[in-house]
Structure 1
Amino acid sequence: MKLSKIRAAVALTAVAAMTVGVAACGSSSASGSSENDKTINFWDPYPQHKAGSDWDKLVQSCAPDGYTLKRQGVATADLINNLTTAVKADNAPDVAIIDNPSMPSAVDAGLITDVKDAGVNTDGFDENIEGPGVVDGTQYGVAFGTNALGLYYNPQVLEKAGVDISSIKDWDSLNEAIKKVVDSGAKGITFSGITGEEGVFQFEPWFWGANGDLSKPESQAAKDAQDLLAGWVKNGWAPKSVATDNQSASWDLFLTGEYGFAENGSWQAAAAQEKGFKSIPIPAKDGGVSNVPTGGEFATLPFHKKANADKTKAAANVINCLTSDDNLVKTNETLGYLAAKKDVRAKQVAENPLWEPWVDSVEKAEGRTTKVGLKYEDISATLSKNLQAALNS
């Protein structure tokens, strides 16, 4: 969607009466005030990073000369709704960090603008990670980096079961390993199959590992992946609770030390290391590394009807600061992501070997919306419905 269309779309839906509601969740002064002209309002979906945290300090350090930066953490589930209200009232933040599956919807609703045109440096970033931020050839956001899904394992459990982790090359060898673990008296594998996008996120590596195509959510590949995961439950290798477990709940089960394997994210890597757990990439059905969905968020510039060119440039420079080569490692380490630039990622891995097992997965990762755009919402709903039916059959 071009900027002129965005302006038209937002103008048609602007509701001045919403201004009061926005004050509770965003900027406190009207966009035309002199105070607000020198304040960069910055929203992110990290309310867990409180004022004074490492993330908060890093963001604050990127305030341009002459500007004050006001950061607000907003829960992921609320951010798009709050941003929609703020854009309609022309009281939007100057920078908003948006979850990557929400990018096409944010563009379609006219909430965000062309970051490249505004002066954000988009050179050198990995196309696969940045894919969800590009809609109809226009880049509406920049991803700092990404998280990824992998297959964690408990070396003590596997050793007792006589499982050599290097033997796991495909689904058949993974199933053989899980069976050995269960036969040894331990528990098999945990994962999240909860209804909605969180469960779909964990399903997609298996779907793509069977050569699945998101444009065909009810293909044989989808059935093969459903049968694999549902088979673990039917065999007693995975707990029945996977149908309702989110990623945190399934990880808590793995932390008991009773399970051999767990599908979970790179954001758990530090906690896993403390426990002595390790990880490998998720295997594809017939061998090799399965593609996984890119995780993480995009730094965007929300739409303002009363645009201030100097302030827009300043907001763009905040993003440039956070994504500069000097800061990109720090930004990703603070958030627990791998950098979206190959050379910077290599530096990050060299400085923190914790990330080395995740490099292959990140470099093969796919954006969930990159190829299907707005259709992803319906596709995800279909995948979720069918997975739930399989897990509960």
Structure 2
Amino acid sequence: MGKKRIVASVMSVAMLCSLAACGGQSAQSSKTIEFWDPYPQYTAGTSWDKYVQTCKPDGYELKRVTYPQSDLLNNLTTAAKAGNAPQIALIDNPKMPSAVDAGLVTDIKAAGVDTTGFDENIEGPGIIDNTWYGLAYGVNTLGLYYNPEILSKAGVDPASITDWDSLNAALKKVTDAGFKGITFAGVSGEEGVFQFQPWFWGANGDMSDLKSQAYQDALDLVSGWIKNGYAPKSATTDNQSAAWDVFLTGEYAFAENGSWQELTAEKKGYKMIPIPAKDGGVAPVPTGGEFITMPIQKKEDKDKTAAAVKVIECLTGGDNLKKTADEIGYFAAKKDVRAEQEQENPVWEQWAKSVDAAQGRTTKMGLKYEDASAQVSEDLQNAMNQQ
């Protein structure tokens, strides 16, 4: 459904409810804060579930509801139409412009949430027209993992991989030595675009210009890996989980994948380097993760709004920001707090440059990103499947 039609639908239902005396938020208790998140894997009684409950305001119950990432925004739209939206919802960061355009979320800063000190490059997707519609407590992002054993046998020094040419030289070297090259997720849709962006951005590309030389160079790079036998043909349909499973076979030298795989990589003895830009340096990588939002309520309850703000500030304020990020395995959205995470577990130090260089997918383009992403996905599939 188009964004304008979503807004129209919400307004139409609001009018019908007014005429029919709909109950609005009567389905919710006046002393219950509903908290929606896209982490159904964290069931009742898990560490995350218990942690969220510690932020329950005095005099209120906190009801946590979970949906798969792909379903949460649709369910929020339905709840808004019914006048039964939750007080807090965690929305996937590339979906923030859609949520704002559909009139589903409100200005959390105006509601009283403290946004001081959060990193601009991480918070970008939640700030639209200078209004804070969401607050990211942390992010995940992408890096280039490698198998030290394979690189050693093939005579490749990971420190020598500083640009595309040196990466391709390393891929040729490991495949000539009888090993396999690189796994990545080229699956159709946003997940494949997410993995393509570091290469595109690393060539100084911009999602608003899909006719640039940088765009063609990035398409040629990724499709060339398949053509040259460096990457498996399954990369065209592999999501990030499947691509990681291929890397875990121990047959591949490299894998482009997320920071959420780091602890598994550490156990396997795998290492990580930042994704190199075309001509050297660290490529900008896209931020992943969610924004804490406050859905718009048909019937405003100032006390309930204040209670919801307390929940958000409990999760994002002071020492709790690190605890919240650690619970989900994210890098905290404040640089000084990330430094604490790195001190506690030095394995995160290698990710620091990538996180500092990261950028939001929708920060510059807003709603236009959705169409651009769809075009990139189509072009990427065409390029890879022509090999």
Q: TM-score, normalised by structure 1?
A: 0.93
Residue 51 of structure 1 pairs with residue 44 of structure 2: yes
Residue 149 of structure 1 pairs with residue 159 of structure 2: no
* Offset of residue 14 of structure 1: 2.9
Match of 1:180? 173
Match of 1:31? 25
* Offset of residue 338 of structure 1: 0.3
* Offset of residue 16 of structure 1: 6.1
61-70 vs 324-333, which moves further? 324-333
Equivalent runs, 1:301-316 vs 2, <5 Å: 301-316=294-309
Equivalent runs, 1:219-298 vs 2, <5 Å: 219-298=212-291
Q: Deviations over 1:326-357 (max 9, x none)?
A: 11111111111100001111111111212111
Residue 213 of structure 1 pairs with residue 184 of structure 2: no
Runs of at least 5 residues in structure 1 that lack an aligned partner in the other structure: 1-5, 18-28
Give the 3-state SS of the residue equivalent to 2:336 in structure 1: helix
Provide the rounded CA distance (Å) in 1 between the counterparts of 2:241 and 2:315.
Answer: 28
Q: Work out whether residues 325 and 344 of structure 1, in 8 Å CA contact, stay in contact via their aligned partners in 2.
A: no
The 3 A distance-change label for structure 1 pair 71 and 146 is: same
* Offset of residue 286 of structure 1: 0.1
Equivalent runs, 1:81-230 vs 2, <5 Å: 81-230=74-223
Residue 329 of structure 1 pairs with residue 322 of structure 2: yes
Match of 1:345? 338
Match of 1:70? 63
Provide the rounded CA distance (Å) in 2 between the counterparts of 1:154 and 1:8.
Answer: 52
Match of 2:11? 11
**Counterpart amino acid of 2:113?**
V
Give the 3-state SS of the residue equivalent to 1:237 in structure 2: coil
Q: Deviations over 1:210-231 (max 9, x none)?
A: 0001111232111100100111
Give the 3-state SS of the residue equivalent to 1:299 in structure 2: strand
* Offset of residue 32 of structure 1: 3.8
**Counterpart amino acid of 1:333?**
D
Provide the rounded CA distance (Å) in 2 between the counterparts of 1:13 and 1:187.
Answer: 56
Match of 2:20? none
* Offset of residue 317 of structure 1: 1.2
Q: Deviations over 1:104-129 (max 9, x none)?
A: 00000000000001111100000000
Q: Work out whether residues 7 and 101 of structure 2, in 8 Å CA contact, stay in contact via their aligned partners in 1.
A: no
* Offset of residue 15 of structure 1: 7.3
The 3 A distance-change label for structure 1 pair 182 and 124 is: same
Match of 1:367? 360
Provide the rounded CA distance (Å) in 1 between the counterparts of 2:13 and 2:229.
Answer: 52
Q: Work out whether residues 85 and 297 of structure 2, in 8 Å CA contact, stay in contact via their aligned partners in 1.
A: yes
* Offset of residue 176 of structure 1: 0.6
**Counterpart amino acid of 1:204?**
Q
Q: Deviations over 1:160-215 (max 9, x none)?
A: 10000000010000001111111111110000011000000000000000000111
**Counterpart amino acid of 1:50?**
T
Give the 3-state SS of the residue equivalent to 1:325 in structure 2: coil
* Offset of residue 11 of structure 1: 3.4
Give the 3-state SS of the residue equivalent to 1:31 in structure 2: helix
* Offset of residue 154 of structure 1: 0.3
Provide the rounded CA distance (Å) in 2 between the counterparts of 1:142 and 1:111.
Answer: 15
* Offset of residue 30 of structure 1: 5.8
Provide the rounded CA distance (Å) in 2 between the counterparts of 1:366 and 1:94.
Answer: 28
**Counterpart amino acid of 1:254?**
F
Q: Work out whether residues 206 and 285 of structure 1, in 8 Å CA contact, stay in contact via their aligned partners in 2.
A: yes
* Offset of residue 325 of structure 1: 2.0
Give the 3-state SS of the residue equivalent to 2:29 in structure 1: helix
The 3 A distance-change label for structure 1 pair 37 and 8 is: farther
Q: How well do the aligned residues superpose, as a CA RMSD in angstroms?
A: 1.6
Provide the rounded CA distance (Å) in 2 between the counterparts of 1:301 and 1:268.
Answer: 30
